[in-house]
Amino acid sequence: MYFAGTGGVASWALKPCEGLILIDALNNADEAQRYIDAGLHKLGLDPADIRYLLITHGHGDQAYLVEKFKSRVVMSEQYW
């Protein structure tokens, strides 16, 4: 499990056998790009390997990662 967030907002990456599972994507596209995209690279992980994005709460944060890396989104019906 890898942390790719800020001091106040968390995003966690899990690395199972294939690809990555990302839990939450911070507050907005700028943070996703700056802290997740760049942060995963610093951790030796490739954000292009994000297969699933688990969203636990609603923000406009996931659009950047979904559009750029084509990851599948998993979230509750309420946030969908």
On whether residue 24 sits in a domain, the answer given is yes
Q: What is the pLDDT of residue 78?
A: 74
Q: How many domains does one find in the chain?
A: 1
Indicate whether 68 belongs to any domain: no
In a domain, 10, yes or no: yes
For the chain, state the CA radius of gyration: 11
- Judge whether 26 lies within some domain: yes
Q: Which of these, 6, 3, 8, lies nearest to 22 by C-alpha position? A: 3
- pTM assigned to the model: 0.84
44 lies in some domain: yes
Q: Which residues contact 33 (CB under 8 A, 6 or more apart)?
A: 64
The answer as to whether 5 is a domain residue is yes
Domain that holds residue 42: 1-49
Backbone angles phi, psi at 39, to 5 degrees: -65, -40
Asked, for residue 4, whether it belongs to a domain, the answer is yes
Residues 45-80 pLDDT 10s: 999 999 999 988 766 667 788 888 888 988 878 766
- The CA–CA distances, whole Å, from 38 to 32, 33, 71 equal 9, 6, 17
